[in-house]
Chain A
Amino acid sequence: MAAFADLSNLPSASQPPSKRPKLSPPPPPVPRTALELLLAQPASPPSPTAIPAPLLACCLPPVNPLSGDVRLSEIVGTAGSGKTNLSLSLCLSSLLSSPSPVLYLTCGVEAGGSAAAGDVTPAIQRFERIVRGHCGEHDAPPASSLLARFHHMSLSDTDSFEAVLLSPPDDPGSIHRLLPTPLPGLMVVDSLAGLYRSSYSDDAAPSQIPPSFFFRLSASLRTLPFHTVLINQVKREATPCFGLPWSCCVNARVALRRHLVGGDSTGGSKFKRYYKIEFGGEGEGEYRIEEGGVVDAGE
């Protein structure tokens, strides 16, 4: 599995803005008609996995070659609702659909728990199980070819996160300079709330982040030529972290929840899991988590 080189020597993210080369103003934008954009819109390919179709359409829509617009989608839910499983399943779907790699950013506590960049995180272990579970059941490419295109980066603190994701594109430490070749088809950030919540001591802390930070982050992610899925946590009463300002920064939100329906034969708990696209798409339904990842419970 690919991993990025040592991030401890992140260069010159602290270089003062006055020393950075100034970018020339962009040329005025050129219009397209909606008809041109519609005719250029590629059709959605058949799904290579059993992820519910609305989720795939919401988080991994085909990119229009004329506009090149990318999508920021958010997956939100309580602990254990399946956010990481869904994001990893989306990674698998992206790997099976195109030759592009995927990039998975583990942020916050889980990243910091690893001794150094390159250690195997729980997300990487889970992805290996998903790939082997999928390859074992389907006529799929060898697991090794999929795992080799799963690129992982750990960002354990807010400083390194901001240095990578908020630096100008020409900055050597910017995400633009750290991307694998060829460019990924999908990036997952797991998770924004985990990163910023671990920087503070109480539940009220995320409200200390100025809204302009979220808009800058969103604008920076949109300069990347691929879709991004961000995982978020919830606060009390299942309200997504970061509230209304962050909600305005993403194109779509998928809310996951689970209900305890009893016990299973092994003495564990049995859950029913539901997804709902709260905005940026349509769809709601039930899903399951299996060895091969998230599957539509309606199938």
Chain B
Amino acid sequence: MCDLPVCYLPLPPPCVRSLSHLDISHLSDASSSPPALSALHSAGIALPPAPPKALSALELARRPQQPVVTFVQPLDELLAGGLPPCAITEVSGPPGAGKTALALQCCVNSTLPPEHGGAGGAAVFVSTRSQFDAARAGQIAGGLARHIGVVSKGRSDFSAETVLSRLHVFHCGTLASLLSCVAASLPALETDPPVRLVAVDSLSFLLRGVPSNTERALALAAIMEALNKLSRDSGPAVLVVNDATVKGGGDEWAGEGGGEVVPALGEAMAGMVATRIRLGEGGGQRDAKGCEVREAEIIKGVMGGGGGRACFVVTEEGVRGAKL
């Protein structure tokens, strides 16, 4: 990689200011900084990507290993402990299946203290479509705090406010702001404790509005590349929420005129994620408390969990395993 100082390059003043702000003095520094690469690209300078860095097994073993539990025990067992760190998990399903509820629950659970089997970190929730329901997050956080209170017999100072102060929310209403968020804002975000889970709800909403298949594929690839880099470099688990679509016939719900309900964004998405969870109805069942039972199916798993189903319910306290 050429180590030319950037001050020797014929760059426009805005680009120079951007690089100065990012503390980039040489081209070699820019190759590992997406915002710097973007600034150089806007000036018409495209750098070759930095060569991949080899990691030893010891370095890999020292990265965060604690999965993020979902609080649905059968699902956690299928996932070998929970959402895997340093990897991307996709959760898909039709509206009302519980995707947002599960994403919020996992965000809250990522703050669970290590002494209670949690990742003991912070979480990021990237909202692209709807209001971030702060009241709902408060209910789920309160549920977790009460659970810790019971388990620790009142000896823990872990509160709902603690959880909520560690849940960072980004709102990205456009594709450009989502790209900017995952490529620049998230890598630069410094929190104490460190982020253990990044949830994007939903990934597909902004992408499905792009009419051109080619542009949609390019945007999806750019976002997933940024998320992959984030999970590899910083170690959080990444959870992306995907919509459902109908494959093979019309716009009907499955079972009414043909077509199978599948995750949106096509088969390319399958190759970009380590784990795929599909949520759906539980056949009209209700649990002992009368809550509607829903089903989570692992349709792709890496951590020893390929296949299998788990039943869960969405209660006022959050997502829990179903007790039938």
Q: Using a CB–CB distance below 8 Å, which chain A residues touch chain B?
A: 25-35, 37-38, 40-41, 61, 64, 67, 69-72, 204, 206-207, 210-212, 215-216, 218-219, 222-223, 237, 239, 242-245, 247-251, 253, 278-280
Contact = CB atoms under 8 A, between A and B. Distances in A.
26 contacts: A31-B169, A31-B170, A31-B185, A38-B135, A38-B164, A69-B132, A215-B205, A215-B208, A215-B209, A219-B206, A239-B256, A242-B251, A243-B251, A243-B252, A244-B244, A244-B246, A244-B261, A245-B208, A245-B251, A247-B94, A248-B243, A248-B264, A251-B131, A253-B96, A278-B96, A280-B130
Contact of B253 (A64, A210, A243): A243
Contact of B168 (A31, A215, A244): A31
B143 to A, nearest CB: 14
Given A37-B132, A37-B137, A204-B250, 6 more contacts: A25-B180, A29-B170, A64-B131, A215-B205, A219-B173, A244-B94
B90 to A, nearest CB: 15
A64 to B, nearest CB: 7
B245 A211 contact: yes
Contacts of A71: 130-131
Chain B interface bracket (under 10, 10 to 19, 20 to 34, 35 or more): 35 or more
A279 B95 contact: yes
A67 B171 contact: yes
B43 interface: no
B95 A212 contact: no
B186 to A, nearest CB: 9
Given A31-B189, A219-B206, A244 B251 contact: yes
Contacts, number: 154
Given A29-B170, A247-B95, A61 B177 contact: no
A279 B164 CA distance: 24
B131 A26 contact: no
Interface centre among A25, A35, A245, A251 (most CB of B within 10 A): A35
Contact of B171 (A29, A61, A212, A253): A29
A244 B264 CA distance: 11
Interface of B: 94-96, 124-125, 127, 129-132, 134-135, 137-138, 141, 161, 163-174, 176-177, 180-181, 184-185, 189, 202, 204-206, 208-211, 243-246, 250-253, 256, 261, 264
B244 A28 contact: no
A168 to B, nearest CB: 12
A64 B134 contact: yes
B112 to A, nearest CB: 15
Contacts of A69: 127, 130-132, 171
Given A35-B161, A212-B211, A248 B205 contact: yes
Given A26-B180, A35-B165, A222 B173 contact: yes
Contacts of B168: 31-34
B111 to A, nearest CB: 10
Interface centre among B95, B127, B168, B172 (most CB of A within 10 A): B95
A37 B131 CA distance: 11
A34 B132 contact: yes
Nearest to A38: B134
